Structure 1
Amino acid sequence: MSNVRADRVGEQIKKELADLLAREIKDPRVQFVTVTGVDVTGDLQQAKVFVTVLGDEEDREKTLQALQKARGFIRSEIGNRVHLRKTPEISFAFDESIDYGNRIERLLRELNEEEK
């Protein structure tokens, strides 16, 4: 039962965080960021936010640093918007699934070209 609640809270956090990033965060390092997922622990104490960033590795690192710096503000705003008794601690991580998918697609294309 708690997994259903954690998933629901994760979706709420994802929605509110996407709005926050688009409207409230003024740091120039936070541009072209997409929230791809939020994993919330069953006890609702921790939330790991997965993001993608348009740009190179340096842009990704700068963006993650800016998000970590704004974590307190983000957590406070999420708490006000989601109305939880205790707002989860938030951490950010880069979602590598898109890079992984692109790599697989490239490898499949190369294999297909070799067969021809």
Structure 2
Amino acid sequence: MANSRPQSSSAPSQRQLRVAEVIRRAMSNVFARGDVHDPDLAHVSVTVSEVRCSPDLRNATVFVLPLGGQNTDEVMAALNRNRGEIRRQVTKQIELKYSPMLSFQADESFDRMDRTRDLLNSPEVRRDLDED
């Protein structure tokens, strides 16, 4: 008999990953076409880097970053203000039983990559790497 309880692992399921990618693409299309009518988002290119869905697929966290990383706070406030309109636009493009509730977070992975690159290029680390 199959175990009907979901696993408590922290890794997302294949279904979560597929749905998240569909939402990410739909959201990218919405931003590329300029379907969100807000003056704070009018002349800003927004990059949707990742979407993470909850196990029940009813909630989605969207990681975004304005192009160049400028005015992040204003863009995040505008996205949260217009999350209902964005949800409607995304729902038109995808076929799911439930339209997920969207929450937006600023993507900090690019900053972490820069800090890691700086750390690896620091003189102390270069010295240790060059010894081999």
Shared fold (TM-score, shorter chain, > 0.5): yes
String of CA shifts for 1:72-108, please: whole Å, max 9, x gaps.
0111111121121210100000111100110111222
Name the CA distance, whole Å, in 1 between partners of 2:104 and 2:88.
16
Q: How many pairs are equivalent?
A: 114
Tell me the TM-score normalised to structure 2 length.
0.77
Aligned-pair Cα RMSD in Å = 2.2
Aligned equivalent of 1:16? 26
Structure number with greater Rg is 2
1:55: which partner in 2?
69
C-alpha distance after superposition, 1:43-62 (max 9, x if no partner): 01100000122233xx0000
1:35 aligns with 2:60: no
In structure 1, which of residues 56, 59, 73 is the aligned counterpart of residue 85 of structure 2? 73
Give SS of 2:52's match.
Answer: strand
4+ residue runs over 3 A deviation: 112-116
What is the DSSP-based 3-state SS (H/G/I as helix, E as strand, rest coil) of the residue aligned with 1:87? coil
* Structure (1 or 2) with the greater helix fraction: 1
Distance 1:83 1:102, change over 3 A: same
Matching residue's letter, 2:40: R
Shift of 1:109: 2.0
Task: Name the SS for the 1:9 alignment partner.
Answer: helix
User: How far 1:112 moved relative to its partner?
Assistant: 6.0
| Alpha-carbon separation, structure 2, partners of 1:69 and 1:112 | 46
Range 73-82 or range 91-100, more displaced:
73-82
TM-score in terms of structure 1 length = 0.86
- What residue is the counterpart of 2:13 in the other structure? 3
Instruction: Measure the CA separation in 2 of the matches of 1:3 and 1:64.
Output: 28
Q: For the Cα contact (< 8 Å) 2:120–2:126, is it kept in 1?
A: no
